[in-house]
Amino acid sequence: MPVQSFKVNGQNVDIEAPDDLALLWVLRDKLGITGPKYGCGINVCKACTCHVDGKAVTTCSVRVSDVRGRQVTTIEGLANGNTLHPVQQAWMNLDVPQCGFCQPGQIMAAVDLLRRTRTPTDADIDAIENVCRCGTYGRIREAIKAAAAMMG
């Protein structure tokens, strides 16, 4: 079986896995990283959103061989030690989650959005299209705007 080598949350990993195995399953089943969630498996719900080289991707639709030599960041690697990322802090300040299932993907998508624009419009926020079955979209929108203000 091929060895897949890449970084996850700043740590080098070498893992035996078939080239076509979804990155989601490598993260969850082989590395024990449970932040990215399995929701649909077809790049629709985006509960599995993580970053590859700083850009949001749905790990259910990315093959592990596509991240060889690259940097993968999951929700577990977003904080700086004990200091939450501003998006994580805004999520807590505004009490965004209900069930919490989609929140890691929501946060990772929001971080990517704020990397691209520091003053997102409602349309920019809606365009991230992560599904929240609890319907906390209003609080998600406000948290993204609050994080943008924190990031100045």
pLDDT digits (tens, 9 = 90+) for 40-55: 999 999 999 999 999 9
Element (H, E) at 15: strand 11-16
pLDDT for residue 130 = 95
Q: Is the four-CA dihedral 69, 74, 79, 82 of positive or negative sign?
A: negative
What integer is the mean pLDDT of 74-96?
Answer: 97
pLDDT for residue 126 = 94
In whole angstroms, give the CA distance from residue 124 to residue 37: 23
